[in-house]
């Protein structure tokens, strides 16, 4: 189920469609991907955050993750009051999904599952978009080579470049043959 939700969310994201649906699917998949990683006794992205920022608490991370998702999946808040849409989504934008998709694919991969090419290209795009999040020089080199100057263009063009690169890498024989590649399309 997580692969279907996450694949659909990512395809919608890449196609620049319906950020609210992307968010709903990605957040639901995030819980499942985190559980899969924990079940395989590997650290989740949340574990990584807690290690890098020991002053943070898991409750705080979950509150941030659920900021918009709770209003999308429930009709009422904890006190029983109905969510006022769209004010409950104030501050939400397509860029919010960048991080949710990245974290969820991270946990999914950590759980030992291969990633579809669209997800792999998305991860490289994410690193190019957020170079401050890079873990090592190799990721920086790859992201700069594949998505040079992507932060200097409009959002629509950023996503267009992402779509173009996914299309190119869908035919990369080396990538298709790699054991960490799920050759199935994002939409199953």
| Structural domain contains residue 187 | no
| Structural domain contains residue 20 | yes
Query: What is the domain range of residue 170?
Result: 2-182
| Structural domain contains residue 63 | yes
**What are the structure tokens assigned to 110, written together?**
């950590």
The rounded distance, in Å, linking the Cα atoms of 10 and 103 is 12
Number of domains in the chain: 1
The rounded distance, in Å, linking the Cα atoms of 141 and 25 is 31
The tens-digit pLDDT sequence of the chain (188 residues) is: 899 999 999 999 999 999 989 998 998 898 889 889 989 899 888 787 777 777 777 777 666 666 765 655 655 566 666 556 556 667 778 999 999 999 999 999 999 999 999 999 999 999 999 988 766 777 777 888 899 999 999 999 999 999 999 999 999 999 999 999 999 999 99
| Structural domain contains residue 106 | yes
Checking 50-53 for CB contacts under 8 A at 24+ apart, the result is none
């Amino acid at each position: 189920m997580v692969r279907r939700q996450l694949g659909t969310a990512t395809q919608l994201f890449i196609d620049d469609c319906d950020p609210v649906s992307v968010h709903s699917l990605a957040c639901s998949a995030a819980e499942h991907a985190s559980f899969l990683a924990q079940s395989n006794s590997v650290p989740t992205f949340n574990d990584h955050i807690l290690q890098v920022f020991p002053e943070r608490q898991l409750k705080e991370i979950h509150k941030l993750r659920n900021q918009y998702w709770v209003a999308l999946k429930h009709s009422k808040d904890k006190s029983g009051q109905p969510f006022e849409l769209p004010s409950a989504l104030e501050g939400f934008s397509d860029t919010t999904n960048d991080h949710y998709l990245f974290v969820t694919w991270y946990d999914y991969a950590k759980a030992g599952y291969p990633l579809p090419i669209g997800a792999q290209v998305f991860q490289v795009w994410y690193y190019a978009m957020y170079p401050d999040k890079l873990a090592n020089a190799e990721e920086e080199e790859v992201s700069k080579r594949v998505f040079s100057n992507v932060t200097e263009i409009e959002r629509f063009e950023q996503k267009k470049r992402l779509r173009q690169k996914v299309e190119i890498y869908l035919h990369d024989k080396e990538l298709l043959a790699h054991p960490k590649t799920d050759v199935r399309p994002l939409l199953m």
